[in-house]
Each structure stands twice: as C-alpha cells, then as structure tokens.
Structure 1
Amino acid sequence: MAMAWILLLFSTLLSLLLIIHLILSSSQQFRVPKTRRRHDPTHLLIVLGSGGHTAEMLSMLRRLPLDPTVYTHRTYLITTGDSFSATKAAAFEKSLQERYRDSGSYSIITVPRARRVHQSFLTAPLSTLQCFWVCLCVLRGTHPQRPPQGVPRYPDLILTNGPATAVCVVLAAKLIRFIHAVTGIGMREPSIFPLRTIFIESWARVTTLSLSGRILLPFVDRFLVQWPSLAGKRAWRGMRETEYAGTLVE
C-alpha cells in the first residue's frame, strides 16, 4: 500500500515537471509577426507596481516615448488601494492627449494585491491565488472592467517591472498561451499569439536580480536589464538570456 502511494506521488510530481517543462519550452518557441498593418488596433497592458516601481515605469514610458498611434489602447493594471498609481497613470494619459491629436483610449483596472505589506506567509498563498485568478480574467477579457469595443480581446504586449503582481500577470499570460498552443482553439496559426511579455529590471538592481525577476526570468519573452553586469544571465541552459538595454529611466 505504501509503495502504491509512493508511485502515485512520484508519477504526479513527474507529470507536473513535464507540464512546467512544456510551458517553459512553448514560451520560448512562439514566433512574433514581423509586420503590423497600419492603424490596426494594438492593446498594451502596463503593470504599475506602486511607489517606486510606478514612478520608474512611467519614466521609461516618457523616455521611449510611448506612441499612442501605435499602441492605440493602454490598460494600466494597479492593485487595490494604490491611488498613487491610478493618479499618475491618469496624469500620464493627459500628457499624451496634449501631445497627440489622436491619443487612442486607455483604462485603469484594479486587481487584488498578491501580498500585502507585513501579511502573514500563511495567508499569502490564498491572496496570491486570488490575484492570479483576477489577472487571468483581465487577460482573457472576462473581467468586469473590459476594454472598449474594437480593442483586441487579449493584450498584444505586457510591460512590467515588478513586483508580485507582475508574477501573477506573466504566469497567467503563459498559461493562456500554453493552452492555446496545445489546443489551437480560435487561432489560424497556433505559433502566433498575443500576450507577449517584457520584464524590465529596476535601475536600482546593479549586480543581482530582484526576487520577481528571478522568478520570471524563464517565463518572459524578453528580460531587459539596465546594467552591463546583469547582461547574459539565464535561468538554465537553453533559455533566453537577459538583454542589456542601457539606462531606460529619465
């Protein structure tokens, strides 16, 4: 009887490892369309991680600069109680309206926090699962705060610099892409799919990656770092490396 339970546990763990391997492998093999028809609606999702993360993200968007005629709809993802990020996102969008005749549209969506400050590690898994589920609904277009009609159901690109909410968003995106890659449901070509992910490591990280960065390194499509000492890092052999992009903040 004990041997049967051991075999069951071993087979379950092996199956989970195989599933994780398939998810990671498939996330590295998707092709990105090289062309985009002019004036096609493009959906950009930006994760604002509150405080310094939000300030750094908006600084990078100002420096790029973000062209609203290319990214015609922007979704800003913030966490519950983060009025600072909501205010800053609205102010940034106002500046776009002043600079561009056609600034497209935007929305601000609130999701639960994955883990609150000083929250017990015993209850953190439950709040993280709740955050993950809501992020999954946002990416699938089933969240009550849906983008306007005509905006692509799935975000074409997800841009984040952490922290915990970013992990939930990226993993949710990878799960959706994995399911579509396996089933091919609703796609003419399963190898081409939206929900591309870019993680930008904080400028403050000079020699080591952040915790969220270490978690997401195997999952994101591109991992940008702002210091040469962090270039070329990878989760393990065969996975994509971090890319040195230089200073991205103003």
Structure 2
Amino acid sequence: MSFLPVVVFVLIFLCFVFLLRLYVVIKTGSKYKPGSKGSVVVLAVAGSGGHTTELLRLMDSLSPSYKPRHYVIADTDKISEEKICTFESSKELRASEPQFTICRVPRSREVHQSWSSSVISTLHALLYSVPLVYKLRPDLVLCNGPGTCVPLCAAGLLLGILGMKKVLIVYVESICRVDSLSVTGRILYPVSDYFFVQWATLRDKYPKAIYLGRIV
C-alpha cells in the first residue's frame, strides 16, 4: 500500500490550516488595540540612508507610551546605528533611563544582488528574525521599506499564527514612491494590518492603503 496519497493529503491539509490561520490573524488585526493597559513595545526596522531618516521622523511622532523601542538594522549597516543613538539621546534627556535597544540581523538583500540569491539570503535572515521577535515580543512592527523588514514581519506573523501573540504589522511606504509600490511594499501589502501611502495616486490604486498626506 502506497503512503504517498496520504502524505500529499496531510500536506495539503496542513497548508490549508496554515492559510486559514493566517487569514484569521490578518483579518483580526484591525480589532487588536495594543497598549490599552500600558506601554506599547515597538520593533522598528531601519534601512539605510533615507529609510532610516524617514523612520526616525515616524518614531519622533509617537507618544511616550511607545516603549521600549527596539531598533533592528542590517549587520552590514554602519551608519544607521549612529543616527539612532543620536536621535534617542535627545529622548533620554526627557526620560529617567534609556528605553531603546539596537539589534542586528543579516541583510535580506544587498544592492544589485540577484533575485535568486536574495531568496537564500532572506531565508538566512529569517532564521535570525524568528528567535529575535520571539524574545522581544513586540506589540507592533513598524517599517518603511527596507528589505530587512520582510523576514521580521514574517516572524511577527508567525507568532500570531502559532497563537503566541498578535503582532501588528504597520507599513509606511516611502515618500519617494509616487506611482508604484516598492518591492517590499508589494510583498507586505496583503499581510500588513495598516498600510500607509503618502501620495493619493497610490491610495487610488491600492484600496487597502491609508492616505493621510505627507507624514514624514
């Protein structure tokens, strides 16, 4: 008797359960209100150059209840750490103790890296992202475009799928994207809980997107 049909059926069933659970996690995201009884733990994914600058502007607009703040940068990023420390030093003047940490994960994709090798490097980054997100247990992941955020958002979704904790995925598309989404935006658009764009043309193309004007 061949067990192949049984194995195929089990795999199909498991895939169905996984996708159903993913659908439930995504659909219930807008009903989840983190921080209603205390602070909101934020995991902010910084890219390089303009990505980090825009992210820090977003972080500066958050209320003091968003703490602690965990920044994640790529292990090859030598500039973002300095920008983050400079930004947070001004907040420390208003706080009794530091409320942030900086963590590093492997970069998902380098500039000009081929797409085929990007799949492998992204899976490599995911191996680091899952235990990091499990350890930090953020209430939300805030990101604005760097490829590094894809495995981190996937890890956040995984926590929800496994029933450990609902993690909100909040994505803010870069102000540079006027007519089309970035690659990261196209990946995270279906699974994000809140997806912000900064141009009305994108809001018209993507009905799920939230348009509030220029927010960075």
Normalised by the length of structure 1, the TM-score is 0.75
Instruction: Please show how residues 145-164 of structure 1 align to structure 2 within 5 Å.
Output: 153-164=136-147
Distance 2:117 2:34 in 1: 44
2:208: which partner in 1? 241
> Over residues 61-116 of structure 1, what are the superposed CA-to-partner deviations in whole Å (9 max), with x where a residue is unaligned?
33x2x33x302211000001212111100001011123x24465110000001122
Deviation at 1:53, TM superposition (A): 0.8
1:28: which partner in 2? 27
2:53: which partner in 1? 55
Residues 13 and 165 of structure 1: CA distance in aligned 2, closer, same or farther (over 3 Å)? farther
The one-letter amino acid paired with 1:129 is L
Stretch deviating more after TM superposition (127-136 or 25-34): 25-34
Number of residue pairs matched? 215
**Mapped contact 2:74–2:106 kept (Cα < 8 A):** yes
Distance 1:207 1:14 in 2: 39
The match for 2:80 among 61, 80, 85 is 85
Report whether the alignment pairs 1:74 with 2:62.
no
**Mapped contact 1:200–1:223 kept (Cα < 8 A):** yes
Distance 1:18 1:207 in 2: 36
Q: Which runs of 5+ in 2 are unaligned?
A: none
Deviation at 1:129, TM superposition (A): 0.8
Distance 1:211 1:157 in 2: 21
**Mapped contact 1:46–1:160 kept (Cα < 8 A):** yes
The match for 1:212 among 167, 181, 184 is 184
The one-letter amino acid paired with 1:244 is Y
The one-letter amino acid paired with 1:74 is R
Distance 1:83 1:207 in 2: 31
1:131: which partner in 2? 125
Distance 1:230 1:224 in 2: 10
Stretch deviating more after TM superposition (121-130 or 210-219): 121-130
Residues 28 and 233 of structure 1: CA distance in aligned 2, closer, same or farther (over 3 Å)? farther
Report whether the alignment pairs 1:166 with 2:145.
no
Residues 103 and 162 of structure 1: CA distance in aligned 2, closer, same or farther (over 3 Å)? farther
Distance 2:98 2:205 in 1: 37
Deviation at 1:41, TM superposition (A): 4.0
Deviation at 1:224, TM superposition (A): 0.5
Normalised by the length of structure 2, the TM-score is 0.86
Paired residue secondary structure (2:169): strand
1:147: which partner in 2? none
1:203: which partner in 2? 175
Identity, in percent, stands at 31
Deviation at 1:155, TM superposition (A): 0.6
Distance 2:9 2:36 in 1: 47
Q: What value does the CA root-mean-square deviation take over the aligned residues?
A: 2.8
The one-letter amino acid paired with 2:112 is H
**Mapped contact 1:72–1:103 kept (Cα < 8 A):** no
Distance 1:34 1:58 in 2: 21
**Mapped contact 1:96–1:103 kept (Cα < 8 A):** no
1:148: which partner in 2? none
Q: Provide runs of 4+ in structure 1 moved above 6 Å.
A: 4-11
Instruction: Please show how residues 1-40 of structure 1 align to structure 2 within 5 Å.
Output: 12=11, 16=15, 19-30=18-29, 31-33=31-33, 36-37=36-37, 40=38
